Amino acid sequence: MSESTVAVLEAAYDKSLVKEILAAYEQAKQNYYLGGHRLSAVEGGRFCEAAYRILEFVTTAKFTPIGDILDTERVAKRLSGLPGASYSKSLRIYIPRALRVVYDIRNSRDAAHLGDGIDPNLQDATLVVSVLDWVLAEFIRLSGSASADVAQRLVENLVTRKLPVVQDFGSFPKILRTDLRAGDYVLVLLYHVGPEGARTSELQQWVPSHMRANLRRTLRTLESKALIHRHNENSLITYLGQKRVEVERLLDPDKGALGSD
């Protein structure tokens, strides 16, 4: 989680709740992308408990202590009755309803499969992580502790999908797959860095040494196929490029795609 995201949230909400919600968020996302779909839903429930407490904090300046039983129905009912002139509909209605869906999945669906034998854990976890993205982005947007453009950038970065097949070492994103061609390697990097894109000089440092000599040709080829957009020295992945990464499973962290001895 970026330091700026943490700073924005801590400036607006109780620090212990920010720590709790971000820890649950990161664990839910990591479990999801590593295939731990049931665990992802469990962490989603933990996220919801922190989020409900943030809603309490925002509207009453206090919250149910962490560790105590949280009456989510009571919290949601009280929020829905708050005056619209004082509190946004997102705080009163949208966030509580979104959290209810995740909470119910954790409580009701985790231990059971559909009657036709289809395991619902993947579809449930996919819904859970999407809702978590949206709720956390809403808390950033509603924090009021960042300018509109900064909040927008943080939200966009937040909802950009990142997989553990890319590991950050400081400012160096290392791709843990050794089977990617140059074009796909660059697409994975641009997918990972999100809407800000990357400068050619950065990509030159990040790609393996054998891809550096022809990097500019690689970028031109990707742009000719509308997979990236280049502006001056900056390259950004397009919607078509994002689709290729996802459809071709270029960020799939399964064992067969990782380097081996």
**Angstrom distance (rounded) from CA 260 to CA 2:** 31
Q: Token match 């009701």: residue? A: 108
**Cβ of 199: how many Cβ atoms within 10 Å?**
13
Residues facing 228 on adjacent strands: 237
Q: Among 1.10.10, 3.40.50, 1.20.120, 2.40.30, what is the CATH number of 3-159?
A: 1.20.120
Per-residue pLDDT in tens (0 to 9) along the chain, 261 residues: 556 888 889 999 999 999 999 988 888 887 776 666 666 777 888 899 999 999 999 999 999 999 899 999 999 999 999 999 999 999 999 999 999 998 888 776 544 444 444 456 777 878 888 899 889 889 988 988 777 677 767 776 666 555 567 888 888 999 988 899 999 999 999 988 888 899 999 999 999 999 999 999 999 999 999 999 999 999 999 999 988 987 887 877 654 344 443
Give CA–CA dist 2/7, Å, rounded.
9
Query: Where exactly are the structural domains of the chain?
Result: 3-159, 166-257
Residue 236 CA: distances (Å) to CA of 162, 167, 168, 233: 16, 20, 19, 10
Amino acid identity for residue 208 in this structure:
P
The CATH number fitting domain 166-257, selected from 1.10.1670.10, 3.40.50.10490, 1.10.10.10, 2.60.40.10: 1.10.10.10
Cβ pair 167, 176 in contact under 8 A = yes
What residues have CB less than 8 Å from 212, skipping those under 6 apart? 204
